[in-house]
Amino acid sequence: MPLFITVGVRAGALTLGLLFLSLFAGDPVKADARPPAIPLANVYHSGVNLEDYWVSEKLDGVRAYWDGEQFWSRGGHVYAAPDWFTAQFPRQPLDGELWSGRERFAELSGVVRKVQPVDREWRQVRFHVFDLPQPETVFEQRYRQLEQLVAASGSEYLVLVAQRPVASHSELMAELEQVVAAGAEGLMLKRRNSRYRAGRSDDLLKVKTHEDAEAKVVGHLPGKGKYEGLMGALEVELYDGRQFRIGTGFTDADRRNPPEIGSIITFRYRGLTATGLPRFASFLRVRNDEPVPRAD
């Protein structure tokens, strides 16, 4: 499936944004696939009026849309959660993240992607909600309604993401440094008077110590020297067909068993080259948070 990257200029800085139709290239779209129309984040940039925003921790989990009956992935596939997990959930849409703690993404994705959920694994997961899909209501009001819904549910598996005002850029950077040091991925900013609308906008901003993006693996390049006999670098492809190589960020285990051709990876980078390609790209992980396709 295609991978879309948009490049824009803000206050002299280039930002990359990503919109996925599917995280599994080559996985055919199912007839019942329904990608949810959810808000997506831009990157925090200088000049943002922080008085208009609330801040929360950026959870390194799996984005999920609860439609009142089941969870949908960003690619439009169903996460097979146990019935007991959602038994006390509100029967109305909720937007949030399936999460089991900091620095546990790989473990979490392995749990939620299974066609047959394993009860003991899901006991460690919580659905952290951060928005209420009501297009005509501003976020500050939606959040107050969320507080009431979560409290009324009585479910130990439904958690409200704490969001609060932030006074200044220096306060924001200090909090970012603190949460990242504790193992968090970063912070999120949500515009208080924003409507719930699909797509990428400055209504939602991610604040991180580094930039990251995704690409499709199209080739393995052999290693040299100490990496002889192992994978030396990945050849990856962006949405427009342009390709580049990533040769750093891999463990020895990654080099022995590199990401499969066609898989989607997340990589870190520092700015863009004059031609718009990521600079100093470094492998971060395989982005495998879509449910395992069901057998026909």
Residues with Cβ within 8 Å of 107's Cβ and at least 6 positions away in sequence, in order, are: 100
C-alpha dist (Å) from residue 137 to 97, 143, 145, 166:
21, 10, 10, 22
Residues with Cβ within 8 Å of 67's Cβ and at least 6 positions away in sequence, in order, are: 36, 93
Q: What amino acid positions are annotated as catalytic residues?
A: 58
| Of residues 87, 88, 156, the one with CA closest to residue 123 | 156
Q: How far apart are CA 29 and CA 213, in angstroms?
A: 23
Burial level of 93, CB count in 10 A (0-12/13-18/19+)?
middle
